Amino acid sequence: MTKHRITLKDIAEKLGITVTTVSKALRDYPDISEDTKKKVLALANKLNYQPDSQAVALRGKGSKTIGLIIPEIVHYFFSNVIKGIMDYTEANGYRLLITLSSNSLELEKKQVNLLFGTKVDGVLMSLANETKSIKHLEILSEYEIPLVMFDKVSDQFQCNKVTIDDVNGGYVATTHLLRRGCKRIAHIRGPKNPLNSKGRFEGYKKALDEYGVKFDPTLVKECTDVTYEEGYQFGKELMQIPNKPDGIFTVTDQVGVGALNAIKDIGMKVPNEVKIVGFSDSQIAQVSQPALSTIHQPGYEIGETAARLLIEDIELRKKDPYHIFGSKQIILDTHLFRRGSS
Protein backbone atom coordinates (compact mmCIF):
# COMPACT_ATOMS: atom_id res chain seq x y z
CA MET A 1 0.00 0.00 0.00
CA THR A 2 1.34 3.45 -0.95
CA LYS A 3 1.91 5.66 2.07
CA HIS A 4 -0.03 8.93 2.05
CA ARG A 5 2.21 12.00 1.76
CA ILE A 6 1.43 14.50 4.52
CA THR A 7 0.23 17.85 3.15
CA LEU A 8 -0.53 21.25 4.64
CA LYS A 9 -4.22 20.35 4.36
CA ASP A 10 -3.70 17.30 6.63
CA ILE A 11 -2.11 19.48 9.31
CA ALA A 12 -4.82 22.13 8.97
CA GLU A 13 -7.64 19.59 9.38
CA LYS A 14 -6.09 18.00 12.46
CA LEU A 15 -5.63 21.40 14.16
CA GLY A 16 -8.94 22.88 12.97
CA ILE A 17 -7.30 25.84 11.24
CA THR A 18 -6.94 26.97 7.63
CA VAL A 19 -4.29 25.86 5.16
CA THR A 20 -3.24 29.50 4.89
CA THR A 21 -2.58 29.65 8.64
CA VAL A 22 -0.49 26.44 8.53
CA SER A 23 1.54 27.71 5.57
CA LYS A 24 2.21 31.04 7.27
CA ALA A 25 3.04 29.41 10.60
CA LEU A 26 5.67 27.20 8.97
CA ARG A 27 7.22 30.27 7.36
CA ASP A 28 7.12 32.25 10.63
CA TYR A 29 4.73 35.00 9.50
CA PRO A 30 4.52 37.73 12.17
CA ASP A 31 0.70 37.82 12.17
CA ILE A 32 0.46 34.21 13.41
CA SER A 33 0.52 33.75 17.18
CA GLU A 34 3.48 31.97 18.80
CA ASP A 35 1.12 29.40 20.28
CA THR A 36 -0.26 28.51 16.85
CA LYS A 37 3.23 28.34 15.38
CA LYS A 38 4.34 25.92 18.10
CA LYS A 39 1.32 23.66 17.56
CA VAL A 40 1.82 23.64 13.78
CA LEU A 41 5.56 22.93 14.00
CA ALA A 42 5.04 20.19 16.59
CA LEU A 43 2.44 18.40 14.49
CA ALA A 44 4.47 18.86 11.29
CA ASN A 45 7.46 17.21 12.98
CA LYS A 46 5.32 14.44 14.46
CA LEU A 47 3.78 13.63 11.05
CA ASN A 48 7.13 14.04 9.29
CA TYR A 49 5.76 16.69 6.95
CA GLN A 50 8.09 17.50 4.04
CA PRO A 51 7.50 20.30 1.49
CA ASP A 52 6.78 19.12 -2.04
CA SER A 53 10.25 19.38 -3.55
CA GLN A 54 8.87 19.14 -7.10
CA ALA A 55 6.55 22.08 -6.49
CA VAL A 56 9.41 24.07 -4.96
CA ALA A 57 11.58 23.33 -7.99
CA LEU A 58 8.83 24.36 -10.37
CA ARG A 59 8.36 27.64 -8.51
CA GLY A 60 12.06 28.32 -8.69
CA LYS A 61 12.13 27.79 -12.46
CA GLY A 62 8.83 29.55 -13.11
CA SER A 63 6.51 29.36 -16.11
CA LYS A 64 6.58 33.11 -16.85
CA THR A 65 2.79 32.83 -17.05
CA ILE A 66 0.23 34.72 -14.96
CA GLY A 67 -3.39 33.64 -14.61
CA LEU A 68 -6.28 36.12 -14.58
CA ILE A 69 -9.83 35.41 -13.37
CA ILE A 70 -12.40 38.11 -14.09
CA PRO A 71 -16.21 38.13 -13.66
CA GLU A 72 -16.96 39.40 -17.18
CA ILE A 73 -15.13 40.52 -20.31
CA VAL A 74 -17.74 42.68 -22.09
CA HIS A 75 -17.77 45.28 -19.29
CA TYR A 76 -15.82 48.41 -20.36
CA PHE A 77 -14.16 48.61 -16.94
CA PHE A 78 -12.76 45.08 -17.16
CA SER A 79 -11.56 45.59 -20.73
CA ASN A 80 -9.50 48.51 -19.43
CA VAL A 81 -8.22 46.39 -16.54
CA ILE A 82 -7.11 43.67 -18.98
CA LYS A 83 -5.32 46.27 -21.12
CA GLY A 84 -3.41 47.55 -18.08
CA ILE A 85 -2.47 44.01 -17.04
CA MET A 86 -1.41 42.95 -20.55
CA ASP A 87 0.75 46.02 -21.12
CA TYR A 88 2.63 45.45 -17.86
CA THR A 89 3.01 41.68 -18.16
CA GLU A 90 4.23 41.83 -21.76
CA ALA A 91 6.70 44.59 -20.94
CA ASN A 92 8.14 42.37 -18.20
CA GLY A 93 8.36 39.14 -20.18
CA TYR A 94 5.27 37.38 -18.80
CA ARG A 95 2.39 35.75 -20.63
CA LEU A 96 -1.23 36.22 -19.53
CA LEU A 97 -3.81 33.43 -19.36
CA ILE A 98 -7.32 34.96 -19.13
CA THR A 99 -10.23 33.00 -17.65
CA LEU A 100 -13.84 33.99 -16.95
CA SER A 101 -16.03 33.25 -13.92
CA SER A 102 -19.23 34.81 -15.35
CA ASN A 103 -19.92 35.89 -11.74
CA SER A 104 -20.44 32.22 -10.82
CA LEU A 105 -18.79 30.78 -7.70
CA GLU A 106 -18.71 27.26 -9.16
CA LEU A 107 -17.05 28.44 -12.36
CA GLU A 108 -14.63 30.55 -10.33
CA LYS A 109 -13.58 27.42 -8.41
CA LYS A 110 -12.98 25.57 -11.69
CA GLN A 111 -10.85 28.42 -13.02
CA VAL A 112 -8.71 28.47 -9.85
CA ASN A 113 -8.09 24.75 -10.27
CA LEU A 114 -7.39 25.21 -13.98
CA LEU A 115 -4.76 27.87 -13.33
CA PHE A 116 -3.22 25.78 -10.55
CA GLY A 117 -2.99 22.79 -12.90
CA THR A 118 -1.44 24.99 -15.57
CA LYS A 119 1.32 25.85 -13.05
CA VAL A 120 1.03 29.63 -13.39
CA ASP A 121 3.53 31.71 -11.41
CA GLY A 122 0.78 33.82 -9.86
CA VAL A 123 -2.90 34.73 -10.06
CA LEU A 124 -4.80 38.00 -10.50
CA MET A 125 -8.52 37.97 -9.78
CA SER A 126 -11.68 39.96 -9.23
CA LEU A 127 -14.18 37.87 -7.28
CA ALA A 128 -17.54 36.74 -8.62
CA ASN A 129 -20.66 38.33 -7.17
CA GLU A 130 -21.65 34.95 -5.71
CA THR A 131 -18.37 34.45 -3.83
CA LYS A 132 -18.70 34.57 -0.05
CA SER A 133 -16.33 31.85 1.17
CA ILE A 134 -12.80 31.90 -0.22
CA LYS A 135 -11.93 28.34 0.84
CA HIS A 136 -11.21 27.41 -2.80
CA LEU A 137 -8.29 29.86 -2.79
CA GLU A 138 -6.45 27.96 -0.05
CA ILE A 139 -4.76 25.78 -2.65
CA LEU A 140 -2.84 28.88 -3.75
CA SER A 141 -1.58 29.43 -0.21
CA GLU A 142 -0.75 25.76 0.24
CA TYR A 143 1.52 25.79 -2.81
CA GLU A 144 2.74 29.35 -2.19
CA ILE A 145 1.34 30.80 -5.40
CA PRO A 146 1.00 34.59 -4.99
CA LEU A 147 -2.42 36.15 -5.48
CA VAL A 148 -3.45 39.76 -6.06
CA MET A 149 -7.13 40.71 -5.89
CA PHE A 150 -8.60 43.82 -7.50
CA ASP A 151 -11.96 45.62 -7.64
CA LYS A 152 -14.10 42.91 -6.00
CA VAL A 153 -11.95 41.63 -3.16
CA SER A 154 -12.35 39.66 0.08
CA ASP A 155 -11.25 40.70 3.55
CA GLN A 156 -11.01 36.99 4.48
CA PHE A 157 -7.86 36.36 2.40
CA GLN A 158 -4.48 37.95 3.08
CA CYS A 159 -2.84 39.12 -0.14
CA ASN A 160 -2.15 42.32 -2.04
CA LYS A 161 -5.33 44.12 -3.16
CA VAL A 162 -5.98 47.01 -5.53
CA THR A 163 -9.24 48.94 -5.21
CA ILE A 164 -10.76 52.38 -5.22
CA ASP A 165 -12.52 54.00 -2.25
CA ASP A 166 -16.04 52.84 -3.09
CA VAL A 167 -17.49 54.43 0.04
CA ASN A 168 -16.12 57.81 -0.97
CA GLY A 169 -17.29 57.28 -4.56
CA GLY A 170 -20.85 56.64 -3.40
CA TYR A 171 -20.61 59.61 -1.05
CA VAL A 172 -19.38 61.98 -3.78
CA ALA A 173 -22.09 60.84 -6.22
CA THR A 174 -24.90 61.29 -3.69
CA THR A 175 -23.51 64.58 -2.39
CA HIS A 176 -23.47 65.91 -5.95
CA LEU A 177 -27.18 65.12 -6.33
CA LEU A 178 -27.97 66.74 -2.98
CA ARG A 179 -26.08 69.89 -3.97
CA ARG A 180 -28.00 69.97 -7.23
CA GLY A 181 -31.19 70.30 -5.19
CA CYS A 182 -32.42 66.69 -5.05
CA LYS A 183 -34.56 65.92 -1.98
CA ARG A 184 -35.45 62.25 -2.55
CA ILE A 185 -32.53 60.24 -3.88
CA ALA A 186 -32.93 56.61 -4.86
CA HIS A 187 -30.09 54.11 -5.11
CA ILE A 188 -30.05 51.16 -7.51
CA ARG A 189 -27.39 49.08 -5.81
CA GLY A 190 -25.45 45.92 -6.60
CA PRO A 191 -25.81 42.56 -4.81
CA LYS A 192 -25.27 42.58 -1.05
CA ASN A 193 -22.15 40.38 -1.08
CA PRO A 194 -19.43 42.20 -3.07
CA LEU A 195 -17.48 44.69 -0.96
CA ASN A 196 -17.51 47.32 -3.72
CA SER A 197 -21.33 47.19 -3.86
CA LYS A 198 -21.51 47.48 -0.07
CA GLY A 199 -19.11 50.41 -0.10
CA ARG A 200 -21.08 52.42 -2.65
CA PHE A 201 -24.27 51.81 -0.68
CA GLU A 202 -22.54 52.94 2.55
CA GLY A 203 -21.34 56.10 0.82
CA TYR A 204 -24.90 56.83 -0.35
CA LYS A 205 -26.25 56.51 3.20
CA LYS A 206 -23.38 58.54 4.64
CA ALA A 207 -24.15 61.48 2.34
CA LEU A 208 -27.86 61.38 3.20
CA ASP A 209 -27.03 61.37 6.92
CA GLU A 210 -24.63 64.30 6.68
CA TYR A 211 -27.24 66.37 4.83
CA GLY A 212 -29.98 65.48 7.29
CA VAL A 213 -32.00 63.43 4.78
CA LYS A 214 -33.76 60.44 6.32
CA PHE A 215 -32.85 57.12 4.72
CA ASP A 216 -35.87 55.57 2.98
CA PRO A 217 -35.43 51.84 2.20
CA THR A 218 -38.26 52.01 -0.37
CA LEU A 219 -35.93 54.09 -2.55
CA VAL A 220 -33.33 51.31 -2.73
CA LYS A 221 -33.48 48.66 -5.47
CA GLU A 222 -31.07 45.73 -5.54
CA CYS A 223 -29.67 44.27 -8.77
CA THR A 224 -28.93 40.57 -9.15
CA ASP A 225 -26.81 40.67 -12.32
CA VAL A 226 -26.08 44.43 -12.50
CA THR A 227 -27.36 44.93 -16.06
CA TYR A 228 -28.88 47.61 -18.26
CA GLU A 229 -32.16 45.69 -18.18
CA GLU A 230 -32.32 45.80 -14.38
CA GLY A 231 -31.63 49.54 -14.44
CA TYR A 232 -34.45 50.02 -16.94
CA GLN A 233 -36.92 47.97 -14.88
CA PHE A 234 -36.01 49.63 -11.58
CA GLY A 235 -36.10 53.08 -13.20
CA LYS A 236 -39.73 52.44 -14.22
CA GLU A 237 -40.63 51.06 -10.80
CA LEU A 238 -39.18 54.08 -9.00
CA MET A 239 -41.21 56.44 -11.15
CA GLN A 240 -44.44 54.60 -10.26
CA ILE A 241 -44.27 55.16 -6.49
CA PRO A 242 -46.46 57.98 -5.10
CA ASN A 243 -43.59 60.16 -3.88
CA LYS A 244 -41.17 59.78 -6.78
CA PRO A 245 -37.42 60.32 -6.37
CA ASP A 246 -35.90 63.37 -8.02
CA GLY A 247 -32.40 61.88 -8.05
CA ILE A 248 -30.93 58.41 -8.65
CA PHE A 249 -27.44 57.06 -7.92
CA THR A 250 -26.69 53.75 -9.63
CA VAL A 251 -24.02 51.14 -8.88
CA THR A 252 -22.75 51.12 -12.50
CA ASP A 253 -23.14 53.12 -15.68
CA GLN A 254 -25.00 50.28 -17.44
CA VAL A 255 -27.61 50.36 -14.71
CA GLY A 256 -27.65 54.15 -14.79
CA VAL A 257 -28.28 54.38 -18.54
CA GLY A 258 -31.01 51.75 -18.19
CA ALA A 259 -32.75 53.89 -15.59
CA LEU A 260 -32.22 57.04 -17.66
CA ASN A 261 -33.83 55.52 -20.76
CA ALA A 262 -36.76 54.13 -18.75
CA ILE A 263 -37.47 57.58 -17.33
CA LYS A 264 -37.32 59.14 -20.80
CA ASP A 265 -39.60 56.43 -22.24
CA ILE A 266 -42.36 57.24 -19.76
CA GLY A 267 -42.23 60.90 -20.80
CA MET A 268 -40.21 62.42 -17.93
CA LYS A 269 -37.21 64.68 -18.47
CA VAL A 270 -33.60 64.09 -17.37
CA PRO A 271 -32.19 66.15 -15.68
CA ASN A 272 -35.12 68.60 -15.27
CA GLU A 273 -37.33 66.17 -13.34
CA VAL A 274 -34.86 63.45 -12.34
CA LYS A 275 -31.08 63.70 -12.06
CA ILE A 276 -28.91 60.58 -12.39
CA VAL A 277 -25.31 59.68 -11.50
CA GLY A 278 -23.68 56.37 -12.45
CA PHE A 279 -20.39 54.70 -11.56
CA SER A 280 -17.39 53.58 -13.67
CA ASP A 281 -17.08 56.21 -16.45
CA SER A 282 -17.66 53.69 -19.22
CA GLN A 283 -18.27 54.46 -22.89
CA ILE A 284 -22.03 53.99 -22.53
CA ALA A 285 -22.06 56.93 -20.08
CA GLN A 286 -20.48 59.20 -22.68
CA VAL A 287 -22.84 58.34 -25.55
CA SER A 288 -26.18 58.27 -23.70
CA GLN A 289 -28.62 61.14 -24.24
CA PRO A 290 -28.07 63.13 -22.14
CA ALA A 291 -24.54 61.98 -21.28
CA LEU A 292 -24.41 60.32 -17.86
CA SER A 293 -22.66 61.93 -14.90
CA THR A 294 -20.49 59.27 -13.30
CA ILE A 295 -17.73 58.40 -10.85
CA HIS A 296 -14.51 57.67 -12.76
CA GLN A 297 -13.03 54.24 -12.04
CA PRO A 298 -9.40 53.96 -13.26
CA GLY A 299 -9.51 50.48 -14.81
CA TYR A 300 -6.19 50.65 -16.65
CA GLU A 301 -4.32 51.82 -13.55
CA ILE A 302 -5.99 49.13 -11.42
CA GLY A 303 -4.86 46.42 -13.85
CA GLU A 304 -1.35 47.80 -14.23
CA THR A 305 -0.89 48.17 -10.46
CA ALA A 306 -2.20 44.66 -9.74
CA ALA A 307 0.15 43.16 -12.34
CA ARG A 308 3.10 45.09 -10.92
CA LEU A 309 2.45 43.89 -7.37
CA LEU A 310 2.13 40.27 -8.53
CA ILE A 311 5.29 40.26 -10.63
CA GLU A 312 7.22 41.92 -7.81
CA ASP A 313 6.19 39.08 -5.48
CA ILE A 314 7.10 36.44 -8.08
CA GLU A 315 10.53 37.92 -8.77
CA LEU A 316 11.35 38.49 -5.10
CA ARG A 317 10.46 34.88 -4.26
CA LYS A 318 12.86 33.70 -6.98
CA LYS A 319 15.67 35.64 -5.31
CA ASP A 320 14.66 34.83 -1.73
CA PRO A 321 12.75 31.59 -1.04
CA TYR A 322 11.72 33.04 2.33
CA HIS A 323 10.21 36.19 0.86
CA ILE A 324 6.78 36.82 2.40
CA PHE A 325 4.15 37.74 -0.18
CA GLY A 326 2.62 41.20 0.18
CA SER A 327 -0.58 41.90 2.06
CA LYS A 328 -1.20 45.58 1.50
CA GLN A 329 -4.21 47.32 0.00
CA ILE A 330 -3.61 50.04 -2.58
CA ILE A 331 -6.53 52.44 -2.99
CA LEU A 332 -6.46 54.47 -6.20
CA ASP A 333 -8.01 57.91 -6.61
CA THR A 334 -11.32 58.51 -8.31
CA HIS A 335 -13.46 61.56 -9.10
CA LEU A 336 -16.81 62.73 -10.45
CA PHE A 337 -17.41 63.55 -14.13
CA ARG A 338 -20.34 65.99 -14.34
CA ARG A 339 -22.39 65.58 -17.48
CA GLY A 340 -25.88 66.31 -18.78
CA SER A 341 -27.81 63.82 -16.62
CA SER A 342 -27.27 65.88 -13.48
Residue pLDDT, tens place only, 166-215: 999 999 999 999 999 999 999 999 999 899 999 999 999 999 999 999 99
pLDDT digits (tens, 9 = 90+) for 124-166: 999 999 998 899 998 898 888 999 999 999 999 999 999 999 9
Residue 2 has a pLDDT of 43
| Domains in the chain: ranges and CATH | 8-50 (1.10.260.40), 54-163+301-332 (3.40.50.2300), 166-296 (3.40.50.2300)
Q: How far apart are CA 173 and CA 160, in angstroms?
A: 28
Looking at the predicted structure, is the pLDDT value of residue 57 above 50? no
Helices (H), the chain: 8-15, 19-26, 34-46, 53-61, 76-91, 105-117, 138-142, 166-179, 195-210, 228-238, 253-265, 283-287, 299-319
Looking at the predicted structure, is the pLDDT value of residue 78 above 80? yes
Mean pLDDT of the residues in the chain:
92
Looking at the predicted structure, is the pLDDT value of residue 313 above 90? yes
Q: How confident is the model at residue 60 (pLDDT cuts 50, 70, 90)?
A: low
Residue 193 has a pLDDT of 87
Looking at the predicted structure, is the pLDDT value of residue 337 above 50? yes
Task: State the burial class of residue 107 (Cβ atoms within 10 Å of its Cβ: 0-12, 13-18, 19+).
Answer: middle
Q: How far apart are CA 97 and CA 122, in angstroms?
A: 11
Q: How far apart are CA 300 and CA 287, in angstroms?
A: 20
pTM (two decimals) = 0.81
DSSP string, 148-182: EEESS--TTS-SEEEEE-HHHHHHHHHHHHHHTT-
Query: Does residue 121 contact residue 89 with C-beta atoms inside 8 Å?
Result: no
Looking at the predicted structure, is the pLDDT value of residue 325 above 50? yes
Neighbours of 75 (CB within 10 A): 18
Q: How far apart are CA 278 and CA 336, in angstroms?
A: 10
